[in-house]
Amino acid sequence: MTGEAKIYKNYIDGEWVESATGETFENRNPADTSDLIGLFQKSDKRDVDAAVAAARKAYKKWRLVPAPKRGELILKLALWMKEHKEELAREATREMGKILAETRGDVQEGIDMGIFISGEGRRFYGETTPSELPNKFAMSIRQSIGVCGLITPWNFPMAIPTWKMFPALLCGNTVVIKPATFTPMTVVNLIKGCEAVGIPKGVVNMVTGNGSMVGEPITNHPDVDLVSFTGSSAVGKHINSACAPDFKRVCLEMGGKNAMIVMDDAKLDLAVDGALWGAFGTTGQRCTATSRCLVQRKVYNEFLSSLASRAKSLKVGNGLDESVEMGPAIDGDQLKKDLEYVGIGKEEGARLVLGGNRLTGGDYDKGFFMEPTIFADVKPTMRIAREEIFGPVLSVIPFDTLEEAVDIVNQSEYGLSGSVYTQDVNVAFTAMRDIYTGLFYVNAPTIGAENHLPFGGTKATGNGHREAGSQCLDMFSEWKAVYVDFSGSLQRAQIDTDDIVKVEN
């Protein structure tokens, strides 16, 4: 019963507080909608205002904490997450649906990010460089930006919040985070970790609710200096426009239509393994999911037959069952969208070789389950080959030459991830060079990024910034050039330089 459900609150200025509206929304398990995880605050602009005010106040002191000490707190939080990894993963599976192996990886990604970023606090490198004038010292340093608004998605409910929060904090900023409405529990758990390790009040704030009531006020708030968003390209475009009048810094991580190329010399069993994991891991609900598989004609039929046979045997069900290999769609709307694209593929003339149906009967009726779905003989111009579906629907496209495959891959409006399977080093390096994406893999699917390298894409996938890697510090910090003149006299750069070098004979 709803009345028996636990109520979770916002976290503002170090306190758990109810929303100004006094209203809540339900969070249910997509694998079993009878499982009510809890009630969460249905917040509005007033809650955002309170959270931003707390963050702005805390920023004055937090930015002055030495970066190594900020890093030590983040490391403590990462170790707290490691200690609680299993319970955090189970909660994430319960509210998001993906299998336990994946949510354990999701939490581990957050742990890894914390360990990596904490070390950057001991580096936080600028640079020194010679001045063109004598007795003058020149260097560059990083400085914090202010209050960061973090708007996070549901598909990686722990990893992506940490990708944003940890570097923001390391750089001396304070944050207001809005978790996805499908996955607030995982971020609540992350905030509990912040409390447990002693992150000062006001430094981290969380407001739950939907995009129009919480996301918009964060984006438009005059005291929010930076907005970091992961989600759809349509919403990202709106956020970018909304932030432009105030010149807010904006980081956008958006859609993908990622392609895996299988050359005729590839190890086919390995390529099939990669296609299965890339296409159906997280039920295809990844921005990096392998949604296109380009196969050279010589091995096309053999690859397709093996892939369909293997995909047919995948066990679909509740992710809390360790034997399950693919979980549900996140909700009824996403499932409906997935099934609509199956209809579009049929209408366009693609050949449906596997799946395409909602799974029903028994426990399937409690959730939003769909068969792993494969279309063959897909033309690159078809909608199922061009548009992001975000579900377990894979388009298999035949090709003749590497040049043709590269052209097909690059025709996409997105440019997040790509991969090639080959035993030819020349082919591998040519594809690596010519495919225009932010991520690229050789003999691996289009998923599997690691935290110590930059994550992000080109074209409609992003706006040029990167998450993870040391490059993420460029998003959450501002560069300052510093000059120290100890000559005791006025020296004018670019003017008083002609006579500095005198050669005596």
Give the model confidence (pLDDT) of 215-227 as tens digits.
999 999 999 999 9
Please, which residues have CB within 8 angstroms of residue 154's CB and are 6 or more apart in sequence? 96, 180, 181, 182, 183, 330
Question: Do the beta carbons of residue 177 and residue 52 sit within 8 Å?
Answer: no
State residue 503's pLDDT score: 54
Q: Do domains 2-127+144-254 and 258-442 have the same CATH topology?
A: no
274-328: pLDDT as tens digits:
999 999 999 999 999 999 999 999 999 999 999 999 999 999 999 999 999 999 9
* Beta bridge pairs of residue 286: none
CATH annotation of 2-127+144-254: 3.40.605.10
Q: Is 241 exposed, middle or buried (0-12, 13-18, 19+ CB in 10 A)?
A: exposed
The top-level CATH class assigned to 258-442 is alpha beta
> Which of 453, 462, 35, 447 shows the shortest CA–CA distance to 282?
447
Is the C-alpha dihedral spanning 204, 88, 28, 331 positive or negative?
Answer: positive
What whole-number percentage of the chain has pLDDT above 70?
A: 99
The C-alpha angle 120, 231, 239, rounded to 5 degrees, equals 90
State residue 2's pLDDT score: 43
Distance of alpha carbon 87 from alpha carbon 359, whole angstroms: 29
Global pTM reads: 0.95
* Beta bridge pairs of residue 249: 226
166-187: pLDDT as tens digits:
999 999 999 999 999 999 999 9
Mean pLDDT of 87-116: 97
State residue 21's pLDDT score: 97
136-161: pLDDT as tens digits:
999 999 999 999 999 999 999 999 99
Please, which residues have CB within 8 angstroms of residue 161's CB and are 6 or more apart in sequence? 110, 150, 152, 177, 179, 186, 187, 190
Instruction: Report the catalytic residues.
Output: 253, 287
Three-state DSSP at 66 gives coil
326-381: pLDDT as tens digits:
999 999 999 999 999 999 999 999 999 999 999 999 999 999 999 999 999 999 99
Mean pLDDT of 221-243: 96
> Which of 176, 164, 170, 167 shows the shortest CA–CA distance to 202?
176
Domain boundaries, the chain: 2-127+144-254, 258-442
Q: Supply 234's token pair.
A: 């349509």
187-204: pLDDT as tens digits:
999 999 999 999 999 999
**Summary count for the chain: helices (H), strands (E):** 15, 22
pLDDT of 243 above 90: yes
DSSP 244: G
DSSP 39: E
Question: Do the beta carbons of residue 465 and residue 238 sit within 8 Å?
Answer: no
